[in-house]
Structure 1
Amino acid sequence: MRSVLSTSFVFGTALLAAGSAYAQAPLIPLPPSSQTAQLPPPSGPIAVPQPASSGPQIPLPASPPPPPVPARAVPQPPSGAPAQATTLQPKLAGPTVKERIRDYVGPKWSGYALIGPAYRPEYFGGNKSEVGLYGDVRVDYDGKLFAGLRDGAGLVLVDQGVLKAGPRMFYRFGREANDSAALTGLQDVDDAIELGGFMSYVWRQWEITATLGRDVSDAHDGWVGEGKMMYEMQVSPELKVKFGPSATWANQNYMRSFYGVTATEAAATGLRAYDPKSGFRDVTLGVEGEYSLDADWSLNFEARLSKILQDAADSPLVEDRGDDLQLFVGGGAKYNF
């Protein structure tokens, strides 16, 4: 046992002494070529070791290439056309005036407004003319109700397509003494509200209308009737023309108010006293035209030549200070809504 321990001690002491001598020995530097030695580049493909396979290799099918994405066709301008910007700008168009009106009153309402100048007599029967206002405003509801300056207001109670009829109210303008020097000393005739009825009949290009009304506003206290027959022609896609005759009849109260001269008025004016009777006031030949600019706007014109008849023509306001031929010409711009 002692010999084993002694041998182990001697071996360990020698091992420690050798390790100490190695640690204290100086380092011997390597030559420079050994520090920068590089491996030569490979002259061929590097063989990668493959894992061992216990069976034959089955080749996998190659994945098909993805289909090509078709290019989106870009429209090209025709040859010679100026180049256009590629940036598209959105159109911010607001509602039109017609659309605003329809949105407010509903789709069943329609109408128009017409305004322009007119060349007209100072009074119906006078021999002097003046430049005044030519115009009209009219609204319709579903073909059953209408109201306008020229046609009055009416309700269509009978509607057989070509034949329409119903009650009507009409506002008739009066006459003032200061409208003309020929009327100086005569009494004014107030504006009148007439109640009555209307009828219209359409046959091919012809339209026949008739109205009859009585003053209910204590202005002329009379009856007035009018008949008209108009023929319509489509001259071009934009232009249509209507022409035809008309006649106006009135009873004695109306005739006295507009063409009579009382004894008091005769003394003040120097005119002879005159008391007319019922009868036809005039016959008229008229022509109307409308030239459409677009769906909303048009240009309108109208001309009428009237011949005053019977007791109205014999009135001193016409025979002495006026003229039995009356000319009216007017035109203007019309907006449909």
Structure 2
Amino acid sequence: MKIASNGPCLLASLALLACSTAHANEQAPEAQSEWKVSIGPGVMVAPKYPGSNKLEVLPLPALDISYDDRFFSQGLDVLGVNVLRDENYHVGAAVSFDFQSRNEADDPRLRGLGNVHWGPKLKIFADYSVSMFTASAALYQDIAGTGQGLLASGDLAINIPYPKGWIFSFGPGVTWANATYMRTLFGVSPQQSAASGLPAHQTSSGVRDVHLNAYASYDFSKHWTGSLQVTAGRLQGSAANSPITLRKTEFNGFAALSYRF
């Protein structure tokens, strides 16, 4: 199973991780069961909030469960379904979490801006693979009323298997965000400006970031796999120019040790 990646670096990181893990699993002998289960501990490093110059560490399970390549729970996609599927493509939907949030307590500069809470998003995705290449696209719509609007992403991954259990994957991606998302995460209204001291900043829909993903995994045995995902992104447009943004370059990492049943 391959899942389209999402634009914000946090989501792109784990989505490409899931995609590359799928390629790794395709190399291994398949069990007869329609169930495929891989689980283990993981740790993610990501910006404290979008545009932050500080990083935070978040423990997350490395989860990959699927049934008949139809229903799945994988990475940040808590529950999903491949509506259309074939050896080379998938089209489907999922309920996904990306944990994007911002609290006034995160930085003294944010006081007066109000908090932005994380919540579930409806994800619509499609991917297509040919030879070593996987192209993917996804839409993420806020369904929790957090004001995070709509995101659209496109990514390309080159998947390179190596002998002795190694898998490598890398490729570029881009994220577009609608006006609601940009206003919530990077805008500063006149009222927020007066309360925080930051200059007012009017945002608009447009490209949020461009990013590059790199992934590597190694099969220690038939059941144990170690993996590392690193994503570097560069904020663009309204996001890059926001007075909230302290660092335009975003770095994310996810390391995991998984047991495949």
Q: TM-score, normalising length from structure 1?
A: 0.63
Contact 1:169–1:197 (Cα < 8 Å) also in 2:
no
Equivalent residue, structure 2, for 1:95 = none
* Counterpart for residue 142 of structure 1: 68
- SS of the residue 2:33 aligns to: coil
CA distance in 2 between counterparts of 1:118 and 1:216 reads: 24
**Residues 189 and 283 of structure 1, relative CA distance in 2, 3 Å threshold:** same
Instruction: Name 1:159's counterpart in structure 2.
Output: 85
Number of the residue aligned with 1:189: 116
Which of residues 231, 239, 243 in structure 1 aligns to 2:170?
243
Q: Which residue of 2 aligns with 1:216?
A: 143
Identity %: 26
Cα 1:327–1:172 change in 2 (3 A) is closer
CA contact (8 A) 2:50 2:185 kept: no
Matched, 1:283 2:210: yes
Matched, 1:303 2:230: yes
CA distance in 2, matches of 1:248, 1:306: 10
TM-fit CA distance, 1:134: 5.1
Gaps of 5+ in 2: 1-31
Are 1:323 and 2:250 an aligned pair? no
5+ residue gaps, structure 1, are 1-105
- Could you tell me how far apart the structure 1 residues matched to 2:109 and 2:259 are? 37
**Is 2:50–2:100's contact at 8 Å kept on the other side of the alignment?**
no
> What does residue 24 of structure 2 align with?
none
The residue correspondences of 1:27-42 to structure 2 (distance < 5 A) are none
Who is 2:37 aligned against?
A: 111
5 Å-filtered alignment, 1:62-141, equals 107-133=33-59, 135-141=61-67
Post-superposition CA distance 1:257-302 (Å, at most 9, x none) = 1111122221222101112100111011110111111111111111
CA contact (8 A) 1:120 1:329 kept: yes
Matched-pair contact (CA < 8 Å) for 2:42–2:62: no
Give the equivalent residue in structure 2 for 1:228.
Answer: 155
- Kept after mapping to 1: 8 A contact 2:49/2:100: no
Residue identity matched to 1:335? Y
Q: 1:114 to 1:287 in 2, by over 3 A?
A: farther
Alpha-carbon contact 1:118-1:330 (below 8 Å) kept: yes
Q: Which has the larger radius of gyration?
A: 1
For residue 61 of structure 1, what is the aligned residue in structure 2?
none
Question: Cα distance 1:116–1:262, how it changes in 2: closer, same or farther (>3 A)?
Answer: same
Matches within 5 A, 1:242-261: 242-261=169-188
SS at match of 1:316: coil
Q: How many residues in Structure 1 have an aligned counterpart in Structure 2?
A: 229
- CA shift, 1:250, in A, is 0.9
Q: How does 1:260-279 map to 2 (within 5 A)?
A: 260-279=187-206
Distance 1:136 1:263, change over 3 A: farther
Q: Normalising by the residue count of structure 2, what TM-score does the alignment of the two structures yield?
A: 0.80
> Are 2:204 and 2:238, in contact at CA under 8 Å, matched by a contact in 1?
yes
Higher strand share: 2
1:312 matches 2:239: yes
